[in-house]
Amino acid sequence: MSRIQTLVQLDDELVALLDQRAAHEGTSRSALIRRAIEGYLAAERDAALDEAIVAGYRRVPAGEPPPELVALAAASIEEEPW
């Protein structure tokens, strides 16, 4: 995977904290920043997915499952050898 170098301006305190954390984890500052950005973007994506799921349930609320489905589920459990 190719990488593009990006300039990010940080204050001295943040750089010192990053360096401490990177040293503690045995990684580089760049790797730590990359992982933090990936985590931030993943959390944002997951939040959007959660929101879409909630919106779907608001549009079509979950109800009681049909009796045929309950019977089928019970029968499949009874067939299990445990």
Question: Average pLDDT, stretch 7-11?
Answer: 96
- The predicted pLDDT at position 48 comes to 95
- The predicted pLDDT at position 65 comes to 85
pLDDT digits (tens, 9 = 90+) for 19-59: 999 999 999 999 999 999 999 999 999 999 999 999 998 88
Position 81 pLDDT exceeds 90: no
**pLDDT averaged over every residue in the chain:** 93
Is 32:25 a contact under the CB 8 Å cutoff?
yes
CA distances from 35 to 22, 63, 65, 77 (A): 11, 41, 42, 43
* Calculated CA dihedral for residues 17, 18, 22, 25, nearest 10 degrees: 60
Is 21:30 a contact under the CB 8 Å cutoff?
no
DSSP 8-state assignment for residue 60: S
Q: Indicate the domain borders of the chain.
A: 12-78
- The predicted pLDDT at position 29 comes to 95
- The predicted pLDDT at position 75 comes to 92
